[in-house]
Amino acid sequence: MLASVIQPPCRLLDIGSGAGFPGIPLKIYYPDLHVTAVDAVTKKVMFLRQLCRSLALQHVECLSVRLEPDLRSSGALPYNCFDVIVSRAVGTIPMLLSLAAPLLSPAGYLLLQRGKEGSQEFEVHSSLFSEYGLQPVDIREIIFSFLTYPRYLLVLRNGREDAFHENKA
């Protein structure tokens, strides 16, 4: 599944990277990937920077930034830049869509890892996808032997053929 979405060299943004999941393992698996890991907590970003130095990872940028729906005020990340955006258990789907859609390149992918309510979240918020120019591709149930409930991976594709512009926000 991921091989059809992540095709290096591409640019991947990990929103709410925390300890580096899933961005850093994806970088190790796909060495030609360009990763930007973003977290609002400076201490976590400092850890990520040290981890990347220790592992000699190249083309990884770790930023201490609090992303806000009004990206114009921060200027931290460029619009239409990322081919793949990932997020693991961060915020609500509406909030993530408002953060990620402007940053996603035309025809890019948004991968949202969600908890046990993931399939219900997908149904409840499905009407928002088209508002952001996103098309559902897949919802994958993921079973872990050490958890009593499944997790879900929501895969959305940017259906916009043109670039995002500020006045569309």
pLDDT 10s digits, 58-69: 999 999 998 887
**pLDDT at residue 147 in the model:** 85
Q: Is domain 8-150 in CATH 3.40.50.150, yes or no? A: yes
Query: Is a pLDDT exceeding 70 seen at residue 165?
Result: no
Give the mean pLDDT of the chain.
Answer: 90
**pLDDT at residue 168 in the model:** 46
Identity of the residue numbered 36: T
pLDDT band at 75 (very low <50, low <70, confident <90, very high): low
- Kindly list the domain boundaries of the chain, sorted by start residue: 8-150
Distance in angstroms (rounded) separating the CA atoms of residues 51 and 159: 35
Contact yes or no for 157/73 (Cβ under 8 A):
no
The DSSP line for 136-168 is EEEEEEE--TT-SS-EEEEEEEE--SS---GGG
**Average confidence (pLDDT) over 131-153:** 92
pLDDT band at 89 (very low <50, low <70, confident <90, very high): confident
Query: Is a pLDDT exceeding 90 seen at residue 100?
Result: yes
Query: What is the percent of the chain where pLDDT is above 90?
Result: 72
**pLDDT at residue 141 in the model:** 92
Query: Is a pLDDT exceeding 80 seen at residue 159?
Result: yes
Query: What is the percent of the chain where pLDDT is above 70?
Result: 91
